[in-house]
Amino acid sequence: MAADRRVVLDVEGLRMRYGATDVLHDVTFQAHHGEVLALLGPNGAGKSTTIEILEGFRMRSAGRVEVLGTDPAHGGEEWRARLGVVLQSWRDHGKWRVRELLAHLGSYYTCYSTDAIPRPWDTDDLVRTVGLAEHADKKIRMLSGGQRRRLDVAIAIVGRPEVLFLDEPTTGFDPEARREFHDLVRRLADELETTVLLTTHDLDEAEKLADRIVILSQGRIVADGTAVELSRRIAGEDHVRWTRDGQRFTHSTAESTEFVHNLFKQHGAEIRELEVHRASLEDTYMALVRRAESGQDSATESTWKEATR
Amino acid sequence: MTPTTVAAWAGWRRGLIELRQSFTNGQDLFGHLFWPAAMLATIYFVGDTALDAGGLLLGTMLLPSILGMNVAFNGLLTMSQLLAVEREDGTLLRAKATPNGMLGYLVGKVVTVSGTLIAGVAIVLIPGLFLVDGLALGSLSAWLTLAWVVLLGTVASLPLGAVLGSLCSSPRSLGLIMFPIMGLAAISGIFYPITSMPEWLQWIAQAFPLYWLGLGMRSALLPDAAVAIEIGESWRHLETLGVLGAWTVFGLVVAPIVLRRMARRESGSSVAERRHKALQRIA
């Protein structure tokens, strides 16, 4: 994570209402410069609505939202030039060739170039960066799903954005394409200090990519922290298994190391087949989502807020 | 250069690139050539039928009328079709995500559609000159009239096409507007002199741009004697300017409002939703 702690995304008390139903309740989170933040949650949790409000494509009902210090509802073209957006499904520009489209879309950014950030990204360099050098002269409709997605990222970063929004970026990817994609996003965050907000329902992806994870369930934030913090603080219970005198034992504890230490002090060599299972993020996630869905959400929220303070 | 000029230039280049793409791929090329070929064939086969006045042949009257109709159809349908399709596939949203992208997109569309439209006129007119007898294109004023009618027809029909394309929920529902437009073509004196229609139908036809485009084109391409088949036996250039001008103003006022409203509603999930609906229809 970058040392610079500027707040790039600032969301406070965000609410969204369609007719009589609230799809977002009091959503509050922040992302700092150069940070990768994952908005994790099951389908219908309000992830896409949140990201669309931040992109300036959707009007919110209430709350305060700032992206790069600007309210997206009133963001001008200069603000727009500092953002990159990758949506869930894009099938546009099928007749264009890869290099041709990147050069064209890049030309809109020339007047937003600064000394610190020269815009746009050089087309050939960009094509190489996203791994499409061999396909640069292909028609876009001839690209495979993974190539198409990398092109979408290339288009999103052609203006060297300071903030990059990725909505469900790897849906339908094979494992190799997914890994390459993750490397690309990490590189953008680490080398170019791009702040990244991505939505995903894939826990594994959030854990691999994100510096911090915000879990959204039924329009509420039920957890916010690093992957390690989340698994430690919420579920908090590791499982210890062992056998003694041919008998099986299991014990759940937050302090597994200390527990095992005491176990050996007490029984020494009698302990066999020792296993310690760390509380996994998956357990945490499932527990949180299940609790939120069974209507105990407000309780979870307050417990969690206490825990993170 | 200011950001707006940058985007306008980008739009101009975009229009040229898309024109080139459209005229270098088989499927589009077929679309550009099929109707003109069918119309020229019709003109060729029925062309020798004599109309009442002064030995004017049906084919001679058909060629300019069809040219006028093509201008209106290209402007209206190509524009609305492209908008509806590109809203569905996310092109519009892409423009929205690009700084000044919407301006570039619109300039690009105007260039593409105008180019298609002018090419459409040439595709019918050039072979038509060899197929059809009795045209009067010898004078400069004939070509000048042709030019201003095509130009005015373009600026009148493009904004209307943009309005239609923005209001339609999908490219498929656009098919429905073909029926009234075809009906309008039938009563607008395109395929037969309007003076042979009942008077109330003539009034309806004169409210829309289609009739005036046909009339303007006939005034450019036909000899003076052919005016005998027109209402009031006059080419009515002032009235043509008035009606097409009024539609232009209407379109230019309404189109930005409707386009802005449509663009505001575009978001990732609305594109995803339409894609989902489109896939369901196939399944």
Question: For residue B129, what are its two tokens?
Answer: 């000159």
Q: Do A48 and B269 touch (CB under 8 A)?
A: yes
Give the model's pLDDT for residue B53: 58
**A267 within domain boundaries:** yes
pLDDT score for B283: 54
Compute mean pLDDT per 10 residues along chain B, 283 residues long, and list them: 92 96 91 91 86 78 94 91 90 92 94 94 93 88 95 94 87 81 91 90 94 96 90 93 96 90 81 74 60
pLDDT attached to residue B52: 67
Residues A198 and A68 in one domain: yes
Does residue A83 belong to the interface with chain B, where contact is any CB pair within 8 Å?
Answer: yes
> For position A302, what pLDDT does the model report?
43
Verify that A192 and A302 share a domain, yes or no.
no
Question: Rounded to the nearest 10 degrees, how much is the dihedral formed by the CA atoms of A157, A161, A166, A169?
Answer: 20
Confirm whether A39 is domain-assigned: yes
Rg (CA), chain B: 20
A94 to chain B: which residues are within 8 Å by CB? Answer: 89
Residue where a domain stops, chosen among A229, A256, A273: A229
pLDDT at A4: 62
Of the residues A180, A203, A229, the one at which a domain ends: A229
Q: Which residues of A touch B97 (CB under 8 A)?
A: 55, 80, 83, 85, 156
Q: Supply A94's token pair.
A: 């099928």
Helix (H) or strand (E) holding A276: strand A272-277
pLDDT at A1: 45
Domain ends where: A229, A260, A283? Answer: A229
Q: Which of A178-182, A224-228, B213-217 has the highest mean pLDDT?
A: B213-217
Q: Are residues A56 and A71 in the same domain?
A: yes
What is the tally of structural domains in chain A? 2
Distance CA A136, CA A102 (A): 10
Measure in Å the smallest separation between the Cα of B15 and chain A Cα atoms.
11
The predicted model gives A249-255 an average pLDDT of 85
A76 lies in the same domain as A169: yes
Pair A166, A300 in one domain: no
In the prediction, which pLDDT does A304 show? 45
Of A225, A222, A231, the closest CA to residue A211 belongs to A225
Is the pLDDT assigned to residue A231 strictly greater than 80? no
In one letter, which amino acid is B221? Answer: L
Domain shared by A48 and A22, yes or no: yes
DSSP string, A223-260: EEE-HHHHIIIII--EEEEEEETTEEEEEEES-HHHHH
A234 pLDDT tier (thresholds 50, 70, 90):
low
Interface test with A, best of B267, B271, B279 (most A CBs within 10 A): B267
Mean pLDDT of A127-145: 92
Pair A288, A179 in one domain: no
Place A301 in a pLDDT band, splitting at 50, 70 and 90: very low
Residues A97-107 have pLDDT tens digits of 999 999 999 99
Domain that residue A210 falls in: 7-82+162-229
Average of per-residue pLDDT values in chain A: 87
pLDDT of residue B12: 97
Q: Is the pLDDT of residue A172 over 80?
A: no
Contact call for A91 and B90, based on CB within 8 A: yes
Q: Is A53 within the bounds of a domain?
A: yes
pLDDT for the residue A5: 78
In the predicted structure, residue A235 carries a pLDDT above the cut 70: no
The full set of domain ranges for chain B reads 3-282
Kind of pairing, strands A7-18 and A62-67? antiparallel
- pLDDT score of A308: 42
pLDDT band at A299 (very low <50, low <70, confident <90, very high): very low
Q: What percent of chain A has pLDDT over 90?
A: 51
CB contact under 8 A, B268 and A167: yes
What tens digit of pLDDT does each residue of A37-89 get? 999 988 888 999 999 999 999 999 999 999 999 999 999 999 999 999 998 77
Query: Which pLDDT belongs to residue B51?
Result: 78
Asked if B19 is an interface residue toward chain A (Cβ–Cβ < 8 A), one would say no
B1 touches chain A (CB under 8 A): yes
CATH number at residue A12: 3.40.50.300
Average pLDDT over residues A134-152: 91
**Residue A283 pLDDT > 80:** no
Q: Is the peptide bond before A120 cis (omega within 30 degrees of 0)?
A: yes
* In-domain check, residue A252: yes
